[in-house]
Every structure is written in C-alpha cells, then in structure tokens.
Amino acid sequence: MNYNNDYQIVLGLVLALMIFGVALELRFIAFKGVLQRPVAALAGLIGQVIFLPWVTLLITLMLDLPAGIELGMLLVAASPGGNLSNIITHLAKGNTALSVSMTAVSSFFAIITLPLNFTLTANLNPITHAMISGSGELKIDSLMIIKSMIVLLLVPLLLGMVIGNFFTGFAHKITPFFKRISSIAFIVFVAFAVGGNWKIFLDHLGFVFIIVVFHNLIALTIGNLIARLFRQNEGNKRAITIEVGMQNSGLALGLILTQFQGEPNMALVAAFWGIWHIISGLILVMFWKRNSPQEGN
C-alpha cells in the first residue's frame, strides 16, 4: 500500500475534527439516558461490546482468510459505535435518544474495551496471532493503542462535550463549520488514499467487499437478536440493531495507519466497512420508514 507517516498525521487530525464536531452536540443528558433506559442501553452495549467482537472471532476461526483481513475484521468489531448510527436511527424512526446514549457510552469506554477486546481476540486466533507475534509482520502494542485512542477519540470527545455543555451558544455557532470542514476533509483524504492505491482496491474489491457485507450482516443480526432477547419495543429494537451494525470504522482506519503501518488488508476492510455500513443502514431505513414503531417502553 502507498503509505507514509504523513497519512498518520492527516487522518489523525481529520478524525479528531470529526469527533470534536459531533461531541459539540453531545449533551451530558445522553449519559443520563442510559440510567433512564438501563435495560435497552445495556442490551445494545452487550451486543456491541461483547457479542460482536467474540462472534467475529468465531467467524474468523471458521473461515480461511488472509491474516490481515481477519485482523481488520477483529479491529472493526472491537470499535465503538459510529456517530452516523444516530442519523440512520432517526431516519429509520427508531429511538434516537437511545442511539445517542449507546454511542456516547461505547465511545467513552472504548479506550478500555477496544484494546482489550482486540488484543484478546487477535491472540486467540492462530492466524492473526502468528501475524502479530514477535516473529510476525505486526505487533500489537496495547499501550500504544490506548495512547492513540486518547488522542484520536477521548481528547476531542471530552473537549467537544465540555464546550457543547458549558458554552452552548459558542458551540451552536461553530458546530456547522466543524462538521462541514471535517466531513469535506475526510472525503478528500479518502479520495487521495483510494487514488494512491487504486490498483490494490480494484484487485481486492470483490473479495473484501463480500467479506465486509457478510460481516456487517452478522453485526446487524446480532443487534436485532439481542434486542428481541431483551424484549425491546420496535423503536428500541431499530436503534439497537443499527447501533451494533454501524461501527466507527474511521477510528479503526486511524489505528491501522498509526499502529499497524497501514497494513493493506486491514485498511481495505476498514475502508469498505465505512462505505457499506452506510448503504446497509439506508437499506434498513427504506425497509422501516413506512412503518412507524408503536410507542411504549
């Protein structure tokens, strides 16, 4: 892959801007929402933080895939929910407040859950373990991953929340700018990254795309089943399904570039996830939008 250290710096700044822009609109009441809806939020977090990473491990153990692809799947599965899940949930007439609560909590605790889940699952898979062992091509440094999480996620998240909650008027003024500029910057970055590695993307398009579609379907299914298991109403079920099925693949891509030297197969999995989970989310919106969920707990 056409990769250099400049990618690390640029993508890190872009991701920090995106998370900061979203955090400006994230109110502390979102965390209070977890206490108000403990069962619903717990169901979603169990599906996302426990079931998805470990079901993904089982899938990688059953499939004979290149080590980099399996490692990319495990990293995406260990990532917190993506902020786009809140928008998709709203469009799908799901419980948007619940979606925001789950995204906020999973993002906040990802500094612990992501390196823990990823390190454990990657080491339990013989193929990925060989790749990340001392004699392998890569090496997992949990401490460095935590440091990256602090820079890429925790600092912009907390900074944005502080400004959004204590300087609300100022936050309202700057939020549109940060969201617009960060989104444009991310699109430009991805365009340059794809352009610089166009042949690699074309060569792997079909195979990796099928894997990502399958993996995303599994994630959505886990979300839906866990919501049914916890006997959630339709609005909560939609929110949980989407939350578990839409991972923060941008964060995963940032970690791949900063911690794994832009390993091509890992990067492809994260990049295709970032595209496909939006498409699958919009498909769900089209399927659900004609049916408004019934009110109730």
Q: What is the DSSP string of the chain?
A: ----HHHHHHHHHHHHHHHHHHHTT--THHHHHHHHSHHHHHHHHIIIIIIHHHHHHHHHHHS---HHHHHHHHHHHHS-B-THHHHHHHHTT--HHHHHHHHHHHHHHHHHHHHHHHHHHHHHSHHHHHHHSTTSS----HHHHHHHHIIIIIHHHHHHHHHHHHSHHHHHHHHHHHHHHHHHHHHHHHHHHHHHTHHHHHHHHHHHHHHHHHHHHHHHHHHHHHHHHTT--HHHHHHHHHHHH-B-HHHHHHHHHHHSTT-HHHHHHHHHHHHHHHHHHHHHHHHHTTSPPPP--
pTM value is 0.81
If pLDDT is split at 50, 70 and 90, which confidence band does 18 have?
confident
Q: Which of 113, 27, 76 minimizes the C-alpha distance to 251? A: 76
Q: Which of 16, 2, 57, 5 minimizes the C-alpha distance to 186? A: 16
**CATH numeric code, 5-288:** 1.20.1530.20
Alpha-carbon distance of 88 to 215, in angstroms, equals: 19
The token duo for 95 is 């419980």
Average pLDDT, integer, range 239-256: 87
Q: Tell me the per-residue pLDDT of 198-239, one tens digit each, with 9 for 90 and over.
A: 676 676 667 888 999 999 999 999 999 999 999 998 889 999
Mean pLDDT, the chain, whole residue set: 82
**Listed ranges 3-12, 136-145, 254-263; the one with the highest mean pLDDT:** 254-263
* Residue ranges per structural domain of the chain: 5-288
Which residue did the predictor score with more confidence, 151 or 141? 151
Please state which of the ranges 89-93, 177-181, 286-290 shows the lowest mean pLDDT: 177-181
